[in-house]
Amino acid sequence: MAACLLLLLASTAGATFRFASYYADHMVLQKKPAGAVVWGYGEAGANVTVSLSRDCKVIMKKMAQVEEHSEAWKVVLDPMNHGGPYSMKAEQHSKGEPKNLTLQNIYFGDVWLCSGQSNMVMTVSQIINASKELSEAPLYPYVRLFTASLIQSKVELQDLAKIDLQWSIPTAENLGHGNFSYFSAVCWLFGRSLYETLQYPIGLVESAWGGTPIEAWSSGRVLQECGLPRDVRRFLRPKLVSGPETPSVLWNAMIHPLLNMSLMGVIWYQGENNAFLNTDLYNCTFPALIADWRRAFHSGSEGQTQPLFAFGFVQLSTFRRQHQDDSFARIRWHQTADFGYAPNKRLPNTFMAVAVDLCDEHSPYGSIHPRDKQNVVYRLHLGARAVAYGEKGLVFQGPYPVKVVVDEARGLINVMYEQEILLLLMHDHIFEVCCSPQLSPQEPCQWVPAPMVSASSHTVTLSSPGCRDTVTRLRYAWAEWPCEYRRCPLYNRHLLPAPPFVMDTLR
């Protein structure tokens, strides 16, 4: 052991030979079946040896050459079981004196990327029960944290330009660093929940920026696919901007540098800004972003990150209680690629946490920033267990209707669910029907409340409002603030809320 310690102390790094920015002591690397990618910079043409050791015993060696153009080297480690600690040594062999670098206290587990805007950026000190959550942080030393700095770029960067929190063991200080700073409460609670379920190390990488639209996180490929301009002069300024809005600048600076990383999955909390910007293009931009990130991470990691890695997201909560605009309702719908639920045909291998019932009118950070992130993460965690980890028989979605039948003779509408429903309360306005002579974009709906009159285990019966025209469509919770805190009418037995929907009716 003394000889090993002496070797570590003797390690030195040259001016150009280094690991990429997000390789450091205390990090978590992706476990098998993926091989973890390790890369860095060195002298062009030089040979690099990367060795992995445990208890001073070398268990793996990999060789690479520094590329002439990029001055970067890259190796893919053999797939490793979860666990640790390991040390990693990189040695550069060139015409000059050999140089070496050593990292310590490395673990293998699952690595998750957490991205989005301010509801992802909120720290543990800003959420409910913050003192308790912060005091328990040291109980989870195998959940490791990393936060990229807020950087934007006009061009795609190879590596992160700056880091706010290098790989760290969780403490009350780095989890409660400051408002809307590092470290993300949603990311932390999600990783902690995964650790409690899986009982092996979890690495959490936060790359998020408040007040940002999806276009800033999208590559030029996504913008082109959805018909969006790259020219910022044609890009409208949303009402909630506090971060950069220019197309692709966060993709360039905060996502593209991470592409070589081997990942298990991504969680995403974003959309509020797009309630005021390109709202009805979100059903293109969001699926396109997911598909593009998947292709890019799979390619950048030499195929180690799965091509359809799991992607979880939070469907938006609430903002303004009395506002009549339906932009938040439309964004929630478009977050599902207009299916109402996830996963679906356009969003395969995704999972969604419904948050429409987690309003927080008195949040000191504004009602758009609800403090109950524990329930958000509980719902995300269920989805991850089912979708990312394949846990069979796990209910991770609230009840969704299979059909809506209009009984014109009796003046009733029956909404039929596949899941057993739990009725918390009756509501006169949360269901609405479209009174329209025909379904046509030229004939906008007249939406009229359809009061709930009864419910059974799988059916909700509504009173038809007596439209002059035919009832052609039904919608549920289609409002910016449809219900009170955890008091929407419909849940399942696991207390997962029924998501908003709009659906054609049958006769």
Q: Tens digits of per-residue pLDDT, 371-384?
A: 999 999 999 999 99
Closest to 370 in 3D by CA, of 316, 420, 326: 316
Q: Which residue has the higher pLDDT, 454 or 435?
A: 454
Band of residue 35 on the pLDDT scale cut at 50, 70, 90: very high
Q: What is the pLDDT of residue 2?
A: 39
Non-local (6+) Cβ contacts of 392 within 8 A are none
Residues of the chain with pLDDT > 70, as a percent, come to 93
- Looking at the predicted structure, is the pLDDT value of residue 14 above 90? no
Across the range 480-490, mean pLDDT stands at: 95
Q: Which residue has the higher pLDDT, 474 or 2?
A: 474
Q: Give the torsion through C-alpha atoms of 121, 127, 131, 135, to 10 deg.
A: -50
Q: What is the pLDDT of residue 408?
A: 82
Q: Tens digits of per-residue pLDDT, 321-335?
A: 877 789 999 999 999
Q: Tens digits of per-residue pLDDT, 91-124?
A: 999 877 778 999 999 999 999 999 999 999 999 9
In three-state form (DSSP H/G/I as H, E/B as E, the rest C), the secondary structure along 324-360 is CCCHHHHHHHHHCCCCCCCCCCCCCCEEEEECCCCCC
Q: What is the pLDDT of residue 233?
A: 42
Across the range 442-460, mean pLDDT stands at: 89
Across the range 60-75, mean pLDDT stands at: 95
Q: What is the pLDDT of residue 507?
A: 62
Q: What is the pLDDT of residue 7?
A: 36
Q: What is the pLDDT of residue 239?
A: 54
Alpha-carbon distance of 118 to 110, in angstroms, equals 24
Out of 3.30.9.10, 3.40.50.300, 3.30.70.520, 2.60.40.10, the CATH code matching 2-107 is 2.60.40.10
Band of residue 241 on the pLDDT scale cut at 50, 70, 90: low
- Mean pLDDT across the chain: 92
Instruction: Name the residue ranges covered by the structural domains of the chain.
Output: 2-107, 109-388, 401-504
Q: What is the pLDDT of residue 238?
A: 54
Q: What is the pLDDT of residue 13?
A: 37
Alpha-carbon distance of 171 to 350, in angstroms, equals 31
Per the CB < 8 A criterion, the answer to whether 279 and 331 are in contact is yes
Per the CB < 8 A criterion, the answer to whether 335 and 327 are in contact is no
Find the radius of gyration of the CA atoms of the chain. Answer: 25
Q: Tens digits of per-residue pLDDT, 117-173?
A: 999 999 999 999 999 999 999 999 999 999 999 999 999 999 999 999 999 999 999
Q: What is the pLDDT of residue 419?
A: 95
Per the CB < 8 A criterion, the answer to whether 101 and 90 are in contact is yes
Across the range 469-474, mean pLDDT stands at: 82
Lowest pLDDT segment from 168-182, 357-371, 467-481? 467-481
Residues of the chain with pLDDT > 90, as a percent, come to 82
Per the CB < 8 A criterion, the answer to whether 262 and 111 are in contact is yes
Q: DSSP code of 184?
A: B
Closest to 385 in 3D by CA, of 376, 395, 375: 395
- Looking at the predicted structure, is the pLDDT value of residue 288 above 60? yes
Q: Which CATH code for domain 109-388? A: 3.40.50.1110
Rounded to two decimals, what is the model's pTM?
0.94
Q: What are phi and psi of 461, to 5 degrees?
A: -105, 130
